[in-house]
Amino acid sequence: MKDMNNKGIPSTVPAKSATFTDPVNAEIRRAAATGIYDIRGGGAKRRVPHFDDLLFLGASISRYPLEGYREKCETKVTLGTRFAKNPVELDIPITIAGMSFGALSGPAKEALGRGASAAGTSTTTGDGGMTAEERAHSSKLVYQYLPSRYGMNPDDLRKADAIEVVVGQGAKPGGGGMLLGQKISDRVADMRTLPKGIDQRSACRHPDWTGPDDLEIKILELREITGWKVPVYVKVGGTRPYYDVALAVKAGADVVVLDGMQGGTAATQDVFIENVGLPTLACIRPAVQALQDLGLHREVQLIISGGIRTGADVAKALALGADAVSIGTAAMIAIGDNDPRWEAEYQELGTTAGAYDDWHEGRDPAGITTQDPELAARLDPVDAGRRLRNYLKVLTLEAQTIARACGHNHLHNLEPEDLCALTMEAAAMAKVPLAGTDWYPGKKET
Amino acid sequence: MQQYDLETDGLRGLNAALQAQAAEPEHTAWEVLNPRGSHAIAVGLNAPLDVTVRGPAGYYCGGMNQQANVRVQGSAGPGVAENMMSGRVIVEGDASQYAGATGHGGLLVIKGNASSRCGISMKGIDIVVHGNIGHMSAFMAQGGSLVVCGDAGDALGDSIYEARLFVRGSVKSLGTDCVEKEMRPEHLDLLTGLLERAESDAKPEEFRRYGSARKLYNFDVDHADEY
């Protein structure tokens, strides 16, 4: 009962619904006014069980630690040892995920190439094809073979150090992308063989195959075109990791890239990003189990992506059985996206630094997710590349520090026994014991 | 004429030999014996070669072709001339699904019939089918021309962009945003040239033209029911 007459009677405190929150109500009003769902970039923003819910145990008596800054902790990784004549050898097990020219500006792609190369790792093309700048500045470049086949050509295929057949993406498994027409410059339109100014709807499935048997033959074709020289990765969105990894391996993948729901995207439906797929943490153990059941764990390498931010995340993914991780959103932040220095301009766009995700509109104040020449010129690719290199080095140092503390002289020697979980959910997903116990949900008694 | 027996010498050797001609075309005429439905025959070529496949080919024959003329004296499996960039692929028999898928250029001729999804996501390739084509052909076709001398199945040209479709026979149904369009003199000229290059004696004036209504190029909630 409300005290409408202000007669001193205690009044009911207005309470907002936990279901109909301010953001939910605002979205209902926006949808009603425009007739279109919210399209945005980035990955899932909702809280889901994550690497933060795991802790390393470190060493005491039962384990013997290595001296930080003194004893060697190796970081090198080789990807694509199964069939390729020329596997990809990286100094660190952290790669840069596929992000397209078109979604990102030319200077941003150049910065990613510069930073990755300086840190001894690879970068990846995206929907839209390979640009000359990207190839020139990337010592190891993975060429994505995407459902849209925008800009796909055999000359670029042969220039790649690896081919990544993209079947799905963590932010939108089963879904395609959408770059709105206003972001389509002449160059982007030309690369995608579409008229300038129309919406770019990336396909959700490969047009010329319909299942794992076709995928196997498609991989054969790609190998024949490239002379069996470079590894073929298969990238899947995290939904049914056990079966998808097993089928990717059966189809002939050298490397499986598994992208959890915190993985980013250039542009797709918010409802999709937040409601489809599995948390990255939940993807790893089923994927590793599939590889182990096939007797191919470590022979077919596993790259995990989706929400990797720190060296601890890197170390945890590796401890759970991954061979490497891949970063996208974190790399964008490292080169300057959502930087508070542009706060005034983010405010003008109706958002704030740290929350800007309308990358498809092409008005990114940081000059990264745009094709506007004036905005793109704000990003110095040399300086941004240096920042990315520094960040990759920090991630590596952090992971090494943890590995040494757990007594390991190589990041790949991290193992599930180095971990415990803070929550029941994380314990169940990662199959590591709840902290202080030797139990996790679903553990079979031996 | 170089002869290569797939049964005895294997796929890798064939493609390696053909691809090596890109650097210095020493031999321009090749004959492939005993294909027996092998996949990925003559893929990734990039030289002005004449390759004759004596028998049926499996998936992706002539895939990503550049410059070469590949002739299949038999039927072709799914994805023939997939993502072709230039040159010509001729199938003297029938072709399976997704013939010419995502092709950027060149000419694909199918003298028999083609199955579903012919020309799916085509981006500049020209495809001439002497017989009929199946359903969902030219789905999301972005550029190039698809000429069908026979009939077309369901949902022709669904979500089509700038590709041009010409059909001489019946069309079972048109897909979303695909409409019949006026056949103007420039289209008759284009069609005349394509039919000649495809060794077809069909008459251009017997064809009807289809293309995009361009209503779905930019999202509009008032068109949502058409998706």
Model pLDDT for residues A146-170, shown as the tens digit of each residue = 999 999 999 999 999 999 999 999 9
What residues have CB less than 8 Å from A221, skipping those under 6 apart?
B39, B40, B43, B59, B60, B63, B79, B82
Q: Which residue is associated with the tokens 């995290």?
A: A238
Indicate the residue of A210, A220, A227 with minimum beta-carbon distance to B19: A227
Distance CA A218, CA A81 (A): 19
**Residues of A contacting chain B (CB within 8 angstroms):** 34-36, 148-149, 152-155, 157-158, 180-181, 193-195, 197-199, 201, 203, 207-210, 214, 217-218, 220-221, 224-228
> pLDDT tens across A235-267, in order?
999 999 999 999 999 999 999 999 999 999 988
- Interface check for B161 against chain A (CB to CB < 8 A): the answer is yes
Q: Is B40 helix (H, G, I), strand (E, B) or coil?
A: coil
Contact A149 B83 (CB under 8 A): yes
Q: Are strands A94-96 and A88-90 parallel, antiparallel or unpaired?
A: unpaired
- pLDDT at residue A4 in the model: 59
pTM of structure:
0.95
| B20 close to A (CB below 8 A) | no
Looking at residue A430, what is its pLDDT?
A: 98
pLDDT tens-digit readout, B120-153 = 999 999 999 999 999 999 999 999 999 999 999 9
Angle at A258 between CA A249 and CA A90, to 5 degrees: 85
Does the ipTM surpass 0.90? yes
CA dihedral A388, A394, A395, A397 (to 10 degrees): 150
**B183 φ, ψ to 5°?**
-90, 105
Residue A22 neighbours by CB distance under 10 Å: 9
- Count Cβ atoms within 10 A of the Cβ of residue B208 and give its class: 0-12 exposed, 13-18 middle, 19 or more buried: middle
- Token readout for B74 is 């038999």
The label of the residue with tokens 């902290």 reads: A435
Can you tell me the distance from the alpha carbon of B38 to that of A282, in angstroms, rounded to the nearest whole number?
A: 40
Q: Does B2 touch chain A (CB under 8 A)?
A: no
CB A359 within 8 A of CB A267: yes
Using alpha carbons, list the distances in angstroms from residue A271 to A171, A308, B169, B189: 10, 22, 44, 48
**What DSSP letter does each residue of B99-125 carry, written as one string?**
TTTT--SSEEEESS-B-TTTTTT-EEE
- Domain boundaries of chain B, sorted by first residue: 2-214
Counting one residue from chain A and one from chain B, the pairs whose CB atoms sit within 8 A come to: 113
pLDDT digits (tens, 9 = 90+) for B83-108: 999 999 999 999 999 999 999 999 99
Q: What is the pLDDT of residue A239?
A: 97
Query: Would you state the pLDDT for residue B216?
Result: 83
Residues of B in contact with A34 (CB under 8 A): 221
Rounded Cα–Cα distance for residues B103 and B112 (Å): 20
Q: At what angle do helices A241-250 and A212-225 cross, to 10 degrees?
A: 50
| Interchain CB distance below 8 Å, A207 and B120 | yes
**Which chain A residues contact residue B222 at CB under 8 A?**
35
B176 lies within 8 A of chain A by CB: no
Q: Choosing among A39, A213, A223, A225, which should be mutated to test the B contact, i.e. which has the most B CBs within 10 A? A: A225
Residue B34 DSSP symbol: -
CB contact under 8 A, B124 and A153: no
Q: Within 10 A of B79 (CB to CB), how many other CB atoms are there?
A: 32
Q: Note whether A198 contacts B102, CB cutoff 8 Å.
A: no
The ranges of chain A with pLDDT < 50 are none
Tokens of A341: 């220095």
| ∠ Cα A426 A429 A430 (to 5°) | 80
Which member of A199, A207, A221 has the closest CB to residue B63? A221
Residues B61-81 have a mean pLDDT of 98
pLDDT value for A36: 85
Torsion sign, CA atoms A416, A420, A422, A428: positive
Whether residue A203 and residue B140 make contact (CB cut-off 8 A), yes or no, is yes
How close is the nearest chain A Cα to the Cα of B17, in Å?
11
- For residue B41, give the amino acid letter: I
| Min Cα separation B203/chain A (Å) | 30
B39 contacts on A by Cβ (under 8 Å): 217, 220-221
**CA of A323 to nearest chain B CA: how many angstroms apart?**
30
Contact A182, A362 (CB under 8 A): yes
Burial A242-278 (b: 16+ CB within 10 A, else e): bebbbbbbebbbbbbbbbbbbbbbbbbbbebbbebbb
Look at A220 and B222 and tell me if their CB atoms are within 8 Å: no
Residue of B nearest to A221 (CA): B40
DSSP letter assigned to residue A147: T
Using CB atoms within 10 A of its CB, is residue B167 exposed (0-12), middle (13-18) or buried (19+)?
buried
**CB-based contacts of A207: which residues, under 8 Å, 6+ apart?**
A147, A149, B98, B101, B102, B117, B120, B121, B139, B140
- Look up the CATH number of domain B2-214: 2.160.20.60
Average pLDDT for B5-9 = 96
CA–CA gap between residue A206 and residue A165 (Å, rounded): 10
Beta bridge partners of B110: B91, B129
Interface list for B 126-145 with A (CB within 8 A): 139-140, 142-143
Give A200 to chain B, closest Cα distance, Å.
9
**Beta carbons of B129 and B148 less than 8 angstroms apart:** yes
**B83 close contact with A: CB closer than 8 A:** yes
- Pair of tokens at residue B35: 């294909």
Tokens of A115: 């930073």
